[in-house]
Structure 1
Amino acid sequence: VLVGTNYVSDWWEEYIYLRGRGPIMVNSNYYAMDYLYVYPTKIQSARAGNTIHAIVLYRRKLDREQIKPLMIQNTIPMCTSQYERMFNSSRIPGVETDTIQHMRDSKHIVVFHKGRFFKVWMYHDGRLLKPREIEQQMQKILDDKSEPQPGEQNLAALTAGDRVPWANARQNYFSKGKNKQSLDAVEKAAFFVTLDDTEQGFNKEDPVRSLDSYAKSLLHGKCYDRWFDKSFSFIVYKNGTMGLNAEHSWADAPIIGHLWEHVLSTDSFQLGYEEDGHCKGSTNPNVPGPQRLQWEIPEECQSVIQSSLKVPSTA
């Protein structure tokens, strides 16, 4: 009986990836960089507006089966099964093995900025938000001066450390109430976004050091400002540069590469920016603003978070 699309695919996914009990950050996850020599805009919220819109456009094409398969020598189509879990997916920690949770659809993203988590709806009045409207949402988050709730800032470090402590913490502290509701929002989001508070990118005056810093930021950041379990975390820096960090178990790198090429080309060559660097179009006061996710993280859980943070920090 044929139980998989390939005789080795199920085994490979489970035993090479999902049963690994060590940190997936650095050891498994990988990253994609922005243009090195082109800076479409220096405005962080605007870059996020265009590129988030472009990402969701790609998802829409994928859902409508409008993405043509990659071809070998323009003759043989490559299998496209790995595209299925690109969006609305998250790796879920388990004691013995992790699993991949995939939702059929998701109409929101979760955005992390300076220790706070925000839920942002991608649709309003039955349509996808336009780039300028997404920029507006991102700017509201950047302008929000509220402080992180106890334990919130370093929460994502649970996804950066060993898998068993995270699995136990998830069961003990995130299986009911507002913690479960907020964790569901993260895990069931279309994808995860970080509005990073650092500046990264290629500096021709110091190419090696700048690229090294950029790569390290995309690969691990501060170890608590990417949700390493999401299928991918999209990162936009303070100076408008961007990149992403991808979880590896659901697909190989060419799948993310195809998305990334689409995002880069759509951002620069189709959507573009106004002369002042903002997204084209106008703001919309009727779009509901971002929603802060609410957490009640007890001190015992905060201790687990700190322990998870120490694992990659001391590795």
Structure 2
Amino acid sequence: DADVTVRHLTTLAFVKIAHEETGRQELLVQKSAPVLLRLADDSEVAVRRDCLDCVAVLSRSGEGMRALIEIGFVKVIVGRCRKATDGGAPNPVVQKAALMALRQICQNDFGYMEAIECGAIETAVFILTNGDDEMRIQAAYCLAVLTGGQQEKSVALKEGIMESLVMMLHTNMTTEVKTAAAAALMSMTNGTRFPNGDNACKASAVNAGAIDALIPLLQSGIQLELQQGIKHTNSALTVYVTKCMANIADAPKGRKQLQGCVDDLEALSKVSEPLLRKHALIAIERVTWKP
């Protein structure tokens, strides 16, 4: 429709309908995906944003994800995370909506594989350095899922992910930024290098300064326990930190640098929050292991 208001109201209606299961099914029956694909290139920012919000909701189901893949929507979303329709700098509002849609797509097995094929890893690493905090959080959580495989870790490593994640772990960053970065770092350091020695993620993390960035966060967890008690609702960052330390301790250089953290890990192994207690104990075992 040539009327901007009509297009905007239409996309808003799509979003509301998509939040209901029967609504999502009806949108798919009515072949709405091609309409949304056209709206993704609309001249109005609000229309493009609402369109991507709707896509994020549709992608929650396998049927919806398949419909989006069939018409090449995942490639469009990955592209909008980095560039505007004309190839220039993206509008921040649209870019954030695209990143949120990409994060949702990464939760779907079909979408996850398609996103990797469309260059989502390279795009997300780019955002870690070039986006604002909100964008970087979304990109880091995307990478926490996308870098599950060794080949995918290799791609991220070549793009410079370690340096960006370590920067995001700085104590001056918000808890939300640090938590997202620690989640991605946990994924990146959970694996082994290739037989030829490449893809040494644990060593790369150590060389990028990950341990120096993680240690203060471990101490912050202890302070949180002393001040208000660590619970499931506020323990995510500290849990990710202990997981990262356990992973990195598999590298001899990392294990050596982590020796000074044992007392802090032991303190966290006595907290009441069971998941944190569990991973603190695992980290202690890895850090104190002797060949």
Q: Same fold (TM over 0.5)?
A: no
Whose radius of gyration is greater, 1 or 2?
A: 2
Q: Which has the higher strand share?
A: 1
Q: Which has the higher helix share?
A: 2
| TM superposition score normalised by structure 1 | 0.21
| TM superposition score normalised by structure 2 | 0.22
